[in-house]
Structure 1
Amino acid sequence: MIYDVAHQAITRLAADLSARGQVKFPPERELALRLGASRATVRKVLDDFEARGVVHRVQGRAGGAFLSGVDPTPRGPERVGSPGQGRKVQRNLNEVSGVPQMLISQGYSAGTRVIAATLEHPSAQVGDALRLSVDDVVASILRVRFADGDSLSLERMYVSALRFPALIENSLSGSMYELFAQRYGVVVEGVQESIEAAIAPADVAALLGLQTGDPLLRLTRIATDADGDPFEFSVDLFRADRTRLTVSTRTPGGRVRSAATTTTKTATAAMTTTTTTTATQPFTHP
């Protein structure tokens, strides 16, 4: 069962890498960590790919598993796209939902790596968003999200350490909102998000496995509780080559007025697009 799940995830990863013109797989150890599988399982999948001519292996420091130009799944008309465009994660701006559930619902294997979890004083931006002073303390959590073993987003979350005591002592690889609800009795009732195009600086590019200057989608979010008080301030950086934003707008009468799908292909320092979406509705835990 674990082998089958890993095989399906790596098959989708191979197709996505091929569509983006990339040929090298992540190292076996890294891929196993992202997929939550053993290194032996990942190696067995790659052995099967190599036997079928899908990949070839190169030994040495710069070696690894490389696509051989053979698509690991049958290619139908619906999978033929323009150069550099593979399957994208759909991010619906009308729904308050988290990354793991969003990925699983779309058939991806979700993974998380916690980069850092610290206590610190808030910056002016964080303090304004959470209505805290510079003398207060916040929990700061930095995580990378993976879809089918390939990086999807880098997330930084800030919450009040007083409202969420000992937060960083918990497991932080799962749903934060579920943890907030179950341990602290705080449920998100609304969010406000602003979205703009960005480019990856060197440190962010390194964490996401990108090149410096690659395009990103920057989502800045403030979550509020049942009383309308802000309790979370987050900045998420999504890979623009793996993410598609969707939004639907309805008239007060309930008829669909418009629907828009936005896919960012490139971003430069001179290109900035900002959209603000506010959602107050029943919440789906991330």
Structure 2
Amino acid sequence: MLRGGGTGLADGERVEILLGITAPAEQEVADALGLNVGDLVAVRRRRYVDDAGVSAVSSTWIAGTLARELPEFTRAEPLPTMTFGLIEERTGRRATRRRDAVSVRAVPDEVASLLGVQAGRDVLVVTNRYWDQHGEPTEYAVDYHAPGRELMSEYDLD
């Protein structure tokens, strides 16, 4: 949406920045970013809300070495160009490939209350991985979608 001239938000949607910290990478994040377990990563967690309530809780991770160049990433304020845009502006590393995986997973304890559901409830989960023009991973995100919500994508095929 951003590269197409949008904001990254659906109509009527707003984002709340909930968390911005650095921490050791757990296995899933380390694997996605090409790091070792325990390497420093920065994580940014957001909650998306519209007139019907919470639509999703999203967490994005980047390598700690990259986070040093992006101090805004861990601040509690929106990123006008989203993570991939900020990475490109600061480093020249342009996101050229993205892989989305859609699954149904149990909501973990640390996300459940933010999403407004009981921990362990199955919900739709979308993971996003981005790579730059050199084939190096730049970011990894996991989005937990609230029950009863529709996930929609629209693309021009020209």
Aligned to 1:243, the other structure's residue is in SS state coil
User: CA offsets per residue over residues 129-179 of structure 1, 9 Å max, x none?
Assistant: 111123521101111111236211111111012123134454542322232
Counterparts of 2:110 and 2:101 in 1: how far apart (Å)? 23
Counterparts of 1:118 and 1:135 in 2: how far apart (Å)? 14
Q: How many residues get paired?
A: 151
Relative to 1, partners in 2 of residues 1:169 and 1:115: Cα closer, same or farther, differing over 3 Å?
A: closer
Q: Structure 1 residue aligned with 2:132, among 225, 236, 241?
A: 225
Structure 2 residue 150 is matched with structure 1 residue 243 = yes
Structure 2 residue 17 is matched with structure 1 residue 110 = no
- Equivalent position of 1:37 in the other structure: none
User: CA offsets per residue over residues 201-225 of structure 1, 9 Å max, x none?
Assistant: 5543321223556552111221101
Conserved 8 A contact 1:100-1:110: no
Aligned to 1:227, the other structure's residue is in SS state coil
Structure 2 residue 53 is matched with structure 1 residue 146 = no
Counterparts of 1:144 and 1:136 in 2: how far apart (Å)? 26
Relative to 1, partners in 2 of residues 1:160 and 1:109: Cα closer, same or farther, differing over 3 Å?
A: same
- Equivalent position of 2:123 in the other structure: 216
Identity of aligned residues (%): 21
Counterparts of 1:226 and 1:142 in 2: how far apart (Å)? 26
Counterparts of 1:207 and 1:170 in 2: how far apart (Å)? 19
| 2:37 counterpart letter in structure 1 | V
- Equivalent position of 2:101 in the other structure: 194
Relative to 1, partners in 2 of residues 1:139 and 1:191: Cα closer, same or farther, differing over 3 Å?
A: same
User: Normalised by the size of structure 2, how large is the TM-score?
Assistant: 0.76
User: Normalised by the size of structure 1, how large is the TM-score?
Assistant: 0.45
Q: Which has the higher contact order (CA 8 A, sep 6+)?
A: 2
| 1:141 counterpart letter in structure 2 | R
Counterparts of 1:116 and 1:122 in 2: how far apart (Å)? 16
- Equivalent position of 2:34 in the other structure: 131
Higher helix share: 1
Aligned to 2:143, the other structure's residue is in SS state strand
Q: CA deviation at 1:181?
A: 2.4
Q: Which runs of 5+ in 2 are unaligned?
A: none
Q: Which runs of 5+ in 1 are unaligned?
A: 1-91, 255-286
- Equivalent position of 2:86 in the other structure: 179
Counterparts of 1:207 and 1:146 in 2: how far apart (Å)? 11
User: CA offsets per residue over residues 34-93 of structure 1, 9 Å max, x none?
Assistant: xxxxxxxxxxxxxxxxxxxxxxxxxxxxxxxxxxxxxxxxxxxxxxxxxxxxxxxxxx9x
Counterparts of 2:64 and 2:88 in 1: how far apart (Å)? 15
Relative to 1, partners in 2 of residues 1:129 and 1:109: Cα closer, same or farther, differing over 3 Å?
A: same
Relative to 1, partners in 2 of residues 1:212 and 1:128: Cα closer, same or farther, differing over 3 Å?
A: closer
Counterparts of 1:135 and 1:215 in 2: how far apart (Å)? 28
Conserved 8 A contact 2:26-2:38: no
